[in-house]
C-alpha cells in the first residue's frame, strides 16, 4: 500500500524492536497507533518471525537510469552497505532496504534527515546529514530497484 513499508524478508530483530516500539507508542506512526495494543511479547515475536520468513516480492516502478546511478554512487560514498550489508538485505537491527517501496524509503529518509524520526535510532540522521531531497530521491530510486 502507498507509503507503507514491506515487512517481508526484514530481519527478525528489526521487526521485533519496531513492533515493540510501536506497541509502546514510542514511534510516531499515526496509522499504526493502537494497532498492536494488547499483543503480548510472545505474540510480537511470532509476528516478527512470520514476516522475516516471507520472501519479499519487490514491485519496483519504472527505472530511471540517471537517478539509479546517482543513488548507487551516493549509497557507496555514504557507506550505507557497512550496516545494511552490501546487497542491502539488512541484518539484526538493521532493516532490509533492497526492494523496499520507493515512496516509503524517501519518506523515512526525510524523517531521519530532518530529525523527525521519533523513537528511531539516531545513527541514521548522521548517515544522511547534509543530503538534499534530490540525493534522497536518487537513493530511494536505487534501493527500490534492488532485489
Ligand atoms: C552505522 C550503521 C548504519 C549506516 C552506516 C546506515 N544505516 Fe540506515 N539504518 C541503521 C539502523 C540501525 C536502522 C534502524 C533504525 C531504527 O529502527 O530505528 C536504519 C534504518 C534505515 C532506514 C529505514 C528503513 C525502514 O524500514 O524503516 C533507511 C531507509 C536507511 N536506514 C537507509 C540508509 C542509507 C541510505 C544509508 C547510507 C546513506 C544508511 N542507511 C546508512 C543503520 C545504519
Distance CA 70, CA 126 (A): 20
pLDDT of residue 20: 96
Counting from 1 in the atom list of ligand 1, the atom nearest the Cα of 10 is: 26
Most confident of 55-69, 106-120, 133-147: 133-147
Residue-wise pLDDT for 16-71, tens only, equals 999 999 999 999 898 999 999 999 999 999 999 999 999 999 888 899 999 999 99
pLDDT of residue 99: 97
Distance CA 140, CA 113 (A): 14
Average pLDDT over residues 100-129: 93
For ligand 1, whether the C-beta of 139 sits within 6 Å is yes
Residue recorded with cell 538534499: 132
Pair 27, 119: CB distance under 8 Å = yes
Pocket residue to mutate for ligand 1, from 124, 131, 140, most atoms within 8 A of Cβ = 124
Residue with CA closest to ligand 1 atom 8:
124
94 CA to middle of ligand 1, Å?
Answer: 6
Amino acid at each position: 500500500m502507498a507509503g507503507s513499508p514491506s515487512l517481508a524478508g526484514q530481519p527478525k530483530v528489526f521487526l521485533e524492536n519496531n513492533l515493540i516500539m510501536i506497541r509502546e507508542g514510542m514511534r510516531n506512526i499515526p496509522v499504526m497507533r493502537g494497532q498492536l495494543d494488547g499483543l503480548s511479547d510472545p505474540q510480537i515475536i511470532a509476528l516478527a518471525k512470520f514476516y522475516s520468513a516471507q520472501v519479499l516480492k519487490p514491485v519496483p516502478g519504472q527505472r530511471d537510469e540517471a537517478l539509479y546511478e546517482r543513488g548507487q554512487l551516493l549509497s557507496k560514498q555514504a557507506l550505507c552497505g557497512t550496516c545494511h550489508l552490501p546487497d542491502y538485505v539488512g541484518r539484526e537491527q538493521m532493516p532490509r532496504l533492497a526492494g523496499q517501496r520507493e515512496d516509503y524509503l524517501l519518506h523515512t529518509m526525510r524523517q531521519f534527515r530532518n530529525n523527525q524520526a521519533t523513537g528511531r535510532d539516531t545513527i541514521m540522521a548522521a548517515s544522511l546529514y547534509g543530503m538534499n531531497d534530490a540525493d534522497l530521491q536518487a537513493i530511494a530510486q536505487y534501493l527500490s530497484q534492488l532485489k
